[in-house]
Amino acid sequence: MPDLIFEIGTEEIPAGFLPPVFEELRERFEDFLKGATLKSEVVEAMGTPRRLVLIVRGLPRKQPDREEEIIGPPKSAAFASDGSPTKAAMGFAKAKGVSVEALSIKKTPKGEYVCIRRRVAGQETPALLAEFLPKLILALSFKKSMRWGTGTLRFARPIHWILAIFDGEVVPFSLEGLSSGNRSFGHRFLSPEGFEVSDAASYLKDLKAHYVMVDPKVRETVIRREIQEALKAKNLEWLEDPDLLKEVACLVEYPFIVMGQFDTAYLSLPKEILITAMREHQRYFSVLERDGRLAPYFIAVNNTLKEGLESFVRGHERVLRARLEDAKFFFEEDKKVPLAQRVEALKGVVFHAKLGTSYEKVMRITELSGYLADILKPDAKETVKRTAYLCKADLVSEMVGEFPSLQGTMGRIYARLSGEPEAVCEAIFEHYLPRFSEDRLPDGDAGAIVGMADRMDTLVGCFGNVLIPTGTADPFGLRRAALAIVRIILMKGYRLSLSDWTARAAQLLSEKVHTPLSTLQETVRDFFAVRFRGYLQSEGVAFDTIESVVARAFDDIADSYKRVKVFNDFRQDPAFVSLMLSFKRVANILEGEAVEEGARPDPALMTEEAEKALFQEVSKIQERFVALMEGEDYHKALKLISSLKPTVDQFFDEVLVMDPDEVLRRNRLILLTQIKELFSMFADFSKVSTAL
């Protein structure tokens, strides 16, 4: 079957825009195929800074024919009692271009309706593509788009050509004065001339001949291989950086590797500074000695040939020298001021217009960290509070001003130079962990506690000012902050009340937050519950298991996690069936019945032996069950309560709960409510959806 080659030729699109748009391009075309009832063998989306490319292999020349069924009015309205068609039937047939005789009757859950069944011929694929491809161009989304010239089209960068070939023929359409054609163009500098395209195989071959590697994965492989070959001769290694590799692969159409050097004097700088200066400003890969030390070399990825290599290398070295000289100057200047003396300067840094300065935030974090330390690690309180006081001081350093990604890293370095205890130095860095979803968590308690306090201050401050994430927008990273807290708590096993913690944070923000405390506590709890659910689902726990615990008791995150994991395991236990059957029988009879809180059944009113037996059994296990729950021996607690099933079954088989005698009925409902309350101490079992 034929192939489609679709290419949007542009001016250089920023590297960060490309991976998402490749995915979008593929997904939108696959949606088009589904909607058009077309199938293909492969849909590939790829490209370079100068082109977005879609290659679809094995696309049929036309849609398959299909049967179409159109439902009309009810049979009762379409035909009279004698079977003759009414105006409704004739009008429906006329509107659809068929005779009344072509109408048939279809039975549906709502009754019998008139319908038309007809065969619809599939459209030719070129016609479908000609209609869809311009819409596809207009639908692609970017972080930022632009208009150019006098047109209204918005795109990442100006479009210069459109290639659209299906089965060797141009798919004809126009967009903003640009017409689709059969020509592509090579590398802007190395082979800028155009060439004609007839099929996918020749297209890929001709692109390579014109110095274009269109697949970013291929470019990544080439870059990796050339770096390894270049370093092998010098017995060196490179600091592998997958994100940087992906980025530089999207900066070039045909990668060429050059290796340069810098003065060994710069190795006196902390390696984090050198790596960041090379990576963030120049997109250079760092080079390592075999023992892991930083070597005075770098790797740059060029978009031009190696001819004139020496001039390229000298250019890269000259630019990097200037960057490293700046970094050295900033570092030497920063060292003149002890880290603790920088805290005062945070008064001039606005954290948020509604939440005050970074200095105010540091004072709140210090107090909130002390509160947490008293609960979690009293012995570490002094280290925790010192860390909290210093944790943002590096924000006003020259180095972090130049390289914002070094916040925390420079704080650790400057704290060491200022003679702070090593535990404080490390905690200053670790309080930022985790920085992203797969990042490592803090090793020490001080960094973990200060990091949680920092994030909770932001969460409560934002929620207290109705700065709540909506849709995909989360400018303050609140979702990431809450998930980080959940991960830290679960890793460390920290036990604390979310409600009490929120209240303490709100107290410290009292002059800046005016939302009622109860509302704030509920909002924060619900926000954390969503992150908690997502985290457990990523571990493969069923949603209803999670929901049963969260709906009943979600305040101590570590305890809720323990309950979920125990319940998840217990669902594989044969006793689980007994547990759920007992609960469902009790819950079903109590549905819609109101029993005053705290009421207890009166044994003197019990007239049936099965009723007395159930009361005695509940009384027998209640004290032990409560003790097991308080001791958090949840598996034994579930086993114990599941043992009620035989007695519960006998009760329902032999006792009429809804007795006509109101006194007897009320006493029996109170007994069942007492049982339900025992279940509710662990979880809300009504949320469990498993069929039994």
* Same domain, yes or no: 106 and 136: no
CA distance 73 to 114: 6
Is the predicted pLDDT of residue 589 greater than 60, yes or no?
yes
One domain for residues 98 and 133 = no
- What is the percent of the chain where pLDDT is above 90? 76
Q: Name the DSSP letter for residue 155.
A: B
| 379 token code pair | 């012995």
Same domain, 267 and 135: no
253-271 residue pLDDT tens: 999 999 999 999 999 999 9
The mean pLDDT value for 474-480 works out to: 91
Q: What is the pLDDT of residues 36-64, one digit of tens each?
A: 989 999 999 999 999 999 999 999 999 88
In a domain? residue 394: yes
For tokens 């949320």, name the residue: 687
- Give the range with max mean pLDDT: 18-27, 59-68, 142-151: 18-27
Q: Which domain holds residue 194?
A: 4-62+124-209
> Is there a single domain that holds both residue 457 and residue 501?
yes
Same domain, 370 and 443: yes
pLDDT confidence of 307, banded at 50, 70, 90? Answer: low
Distance between CA atoms of residues 146 and 17, nearest Å: 13
Say if 157 falls within a structural domain: yes
Q: What is the mean pLDDT of the chain?
A: 93
Residues 23 and 143 in one domain: yes
In a domain, 558, yes or no: no
Where is average pLDDT lowest: 12-26, 62-76, 333-347? 62-76
**What amino acid occupies position 684?**
D
Domain co-membership, 284 together with 325: yes
What are 436-463's pLDDT values in tens digits? Answer: 888 999 999 999 999 999 999 999 999 9
Q: How confident is the model at residue 383 (pLDDT cuts 50, 70, 90)?
A: very high
Nearest to 203 by CA among 372, 374, 3: 3
Name the pLDDT band for 98 (thresholds 50, 70, 90): confident
Q: CA angle at residue 51 from 50 to 54, to 5 degrees?
A: 165
The answer on 483 and 377 residing in a single domain is yes
- Same domain? 153 vs 104: no
Q: Is residue 547 part of a domain?
A: no
Of 47-56, 72-81, 555-564, the poorest mean pLDDT is in 72-81
Which of 183, 209, 235 is the last residue in one of the domains?
A: 209
In a domain, 545, yes or no: no
Single-letter amino acid code for the residue at 226: E
Q: In this structure, are 222 and 370 located in the same domain? A: no
Which residues, 6+ apart, have CB-to-CB distance to 411 below 8 Å?
Answer: 339, 390, 391, 392, 393, 394, 428, 429
**pLDDT band with cut points at 50, 70 and 90 for residue 689:** confident
- Domain assignment present for 551: no
- Residue ending a domain, among 209, 227, 250, is 209
Q: Band of the pLDDT at 107, cuts 50, 70, 90?
A: confident
**Torsion of the alpha carbons at 401, 407, 413 and 416, rounded to the nearest 10:** 110
Model confidence at 511: pLDDT above 70: yes
The enclosing domain of 410 has a CATH number of 1.10.3210
| pLDDT computed for residue 100 by the predictor | 85
**Residue 640's CATH number:** 1.10.730.10
Residue 555 half-sphere exposure, CB side, CA atoms within 13 Å? 10
- What is the band of 65 on the pLDDT scale with cuts at 50, 70, 90? confident
Helix, strand, coil content of the chain in percent (nearest 5) = 55, 15, 30
Q: Are residues 433 and 505 in the same domain?
A: yes
| Residue 279, pLDDT above cutoff 80 | yes
pLDDT computed for residue 690 by the predictor: 60
Do 248 and 99 share a domain, yes or no? no
Q: What is the pLDDT of residue 306?
A: 63
Measured CA angle at 605 (ends 602, 608), to 5 deg: 115
| Rounded CA separation 182/177 (Å) | 16
Cβ-based neighbours of 95, under 8 Å, separated by 6 or more: none
Question: CB of 126 within 8 A of CB of 171?
Answer: yes
Res 308: pLDDT: 66
Rounded CA-CA distance 245/301 in Å is 10
- Residue 384 has a pLDDT of 98
Q: How far, in Å, CA of 564 to CA of 570, rounded?
A: 10
Q: Give the separation between CA 162 and CA 401, rounded to whole angstroms.
A: 43
Q: Quote the number of domains for the chain.
A: 5
Q: Which of 185, 209, 233 is the last residue of a domain?
A: 209
- Asked if residue 522 is part of any domain, the answer here is yes
Instruction: Show the CA angle centred on residue 280, arms to residues 279 and 282, nearest 5°.
Output: 70
Question: According to the model, what pLDDT value does residue 473 have?
Answer: 81
Mean pLDDT of 140-149: 92
State the angle between helix axes of 634-642 and 575-590 in degrees (0 to 180), rounded to the nearest 10.
70
Q: Note whether residue 555 is domain-resident.
A: no
The closest alpha carbon to 13, from 156, 155, 192, belongs to 156
Give the per-residue pLDDT at 284. Answer: 97
Q: Is the pLDDT of residue 546 over 80?
A: yes
Report the alpha-carbon distance of residue 49 to residue 8 in Å, rounded: 11
